[in-house]
């Protein structure tokens, strides 16, 4: 069979594309439109023209209203759209979180005349807009303000419910608008978070290969290549990305979009999420339970990928299957993150030693997804792994 066409497409060409894959399944990208580039925010009136007869509910927080929300409102109203602003916030927590309070306030704000929920922001704004629009049978659009996470193009919404992080099915946004002129000015920590979320795919893809070897789980080589190609392009442009060069910002944003698209293609999160995400979620939940601020998700994912690669190194010395999964070396990942001046250890993230040890023993429970830590537990070596990794990182 010829090389799949999707491997040579840019993300702007992927909306509404369907194809029969070499894995034997039909895949499709059920997004109406993805606009990426300089100045694309000005295309909003044309992109959402079909919603002009109803109210567009613009969702932001205090920061993103100043960054782009007010501008979005002005662009739409000057083109004859009726809009309403909803400013999200969290009670008793220093940053906006996607919990029942945030979701509930948005549902109340979406009055009967609402035709479209238009988010202006990144992680939490995106997740909350998708879940509320999905539940209310409305469309959503996201105007991205930072290349900080990989959920823009996904069909999932991770929410905090009863102090647990639970991923709920939602739907693709109707359209994604990523204006590079806005994205390049995001805070440095958000740039690092997006970079960490992408480089973390090294270990996510390794966990996918491992479960294929051990459990004969479904695998799509084309989707895995799509994700790996995006990761490679991001790593090649590391220095230019942190210099905020427009085309490098574009490349990272495209990779973040591809992560969500890849999950949608195969209907599972394997291409984009593995042990490194489990560790990040565990640390975030611990911080939430204590009412303290946690690092941005992608920065935790970056450190989690180094930890995961160390676990693979340890198990590859004892067993063939982890070695056959072709894991990245810990030093490869450390070198990549050093170039980005990112944290390399959980201590640098503020993760306490006992929390770290506990996360190695229990983070695999967060998702029913087989990883190197499930493999280690099945061989009665998880407690020893927790001790060994704690000695390495502390």
Q: Using one digit for the tens of pLDDT, what is the confidence trace for 329-385?
A: 999 999 999 999 999 999 999 999 999 999 999 999 988 899 999 999 999 999 999
- Residue 164 pLDDT > 90: no
CATH 3.40.50.1970 in the chain, residues?
Answer: 5-183
95 pLDDT tier (thresholds 50, 70, 90): confident
- The yes/no answer on whether domain 5-183 falls in CATH 3.40.50.1970 is yes
**The token pair that represents 364 in the structure block:** 């695999």
Question: What is the per-residue pLDDT across 242-281, written as a single tens digit (0 to 9) for each?
Answer: 999 999 999 999 999 999 999 999 999 999 999 999 999 9
What is the pLDDT at residue 5?
92
- Residue 2 pLDDT > 80: no
pTM: 0.93
- Residue 162 pLDDT > 90: no
Residue 63 neighbours by CB under 8 Å, 6+ apart: none
How far is residue 137's CA from residue 381's CA, in Å, rounded to a whole number?
A: 47
What is the pLDDT at residue 1?
55
What is the pLDDT at residue 76?
98
What is the pLDDT at residue 126?
97
Torsion of CA 218, 222, 223, 228, to 10 degrees: 120
Q: Which of 184, 182, 191 is nearest to 71 (CA)?
A: 182
CATH code for the part of the protein at 188-218+268-393 = 1.20.1090.10
CATH 1.20.1090.10 in the chain, residues?
Answer: 188-218+268-393
Rounded average pLDDT over 153-161: 90
- Residue 151 pLDDT > 70: yes
**The token pair that represents 303 in the structure block:** 């450190």
Residue 96 neighbours by CB under 8 Å, 6+ apart: 61, 88, 89, 90, 102, 124, 125
What is the pLDDT at residue 289?
86
């Amino acid at each position: 069979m010829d090389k799949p066409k999707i491997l040579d497409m840019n993300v702007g060409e992927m909306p509404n594309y369907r194809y029969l894959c070499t894995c034997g399944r039909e895949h499709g990208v059920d997004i109406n439109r993805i606009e990426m580039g300089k100045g694309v925010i000005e295309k909003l009136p044309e992109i959402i023209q079909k919603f002009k007869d109803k109210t567009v509910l613009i969702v932001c927080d205090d920061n993103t209203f100043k960054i782009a929300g007010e501008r979005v409102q002005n662009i739409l109203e000057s083109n004859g759209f009726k809009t309403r602003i909803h400013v999200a916030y969290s009670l008793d927590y220093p940053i906006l979180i996607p919990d029942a309070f945030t979701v509930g306030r948005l549902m109340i704000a979406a009055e009967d005349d609402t035709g479209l929920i238009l988010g202006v922001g990144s992680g939490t704004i995106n997740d909350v807009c998708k879940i509320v629009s999905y539940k209310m049978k409305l469309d959503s659009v996201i105007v991205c303000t930072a290349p900080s996470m990989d959920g823009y193009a996904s069909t999932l919404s991770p929410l905090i419910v009863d102090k647990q992080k639970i991923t709920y099915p939602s739907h693709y946004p109707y359209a994604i608008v990523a204006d590079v002129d806005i994205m390049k000015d995001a805070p440095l920590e958000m740039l690092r978070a997006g970079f960490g979320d992408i480089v973390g795919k090294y270990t996510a893809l390794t966990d996918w290969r491992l479960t294929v070897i051990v459990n004969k789980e479904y695998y799509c080589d084309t989707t895995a290549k799509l994700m790996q190609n995006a990761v490679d392009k991001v790593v090649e442009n590391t220095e230019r990305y942190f210099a905020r060069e427009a085309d490098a910002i574009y490349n990272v944003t495209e990779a973040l979009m591809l992560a969500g698209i890849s999950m949608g293609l195969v209907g599972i999160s394997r291409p984009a999420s593995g042990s490194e995400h489990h560790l990040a979620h565990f640390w975030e939940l611990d911080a939430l339970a204590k009412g303290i601020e946690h690092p941005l998700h992608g920065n935790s994912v970056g450190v989690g990928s180094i930890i995961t690669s160390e676990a693979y190194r340890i198990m590859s010395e004892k067993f063939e299957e982890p070695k056959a999964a072709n894991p990245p070396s810990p030093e490869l990942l450390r070198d990549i993150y050093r170039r980005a001046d990112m944290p390399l250890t959980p201590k640098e993230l503020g993760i306490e030693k006992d929390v770290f040890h506990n996360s190695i023993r229990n983070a695999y429970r967060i998702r029913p997804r087989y990883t190197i830590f499930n493999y280690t537990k099945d061989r009665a070596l998880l407690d020893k792994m927790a001790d060994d990794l704690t000695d390495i990182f502390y």
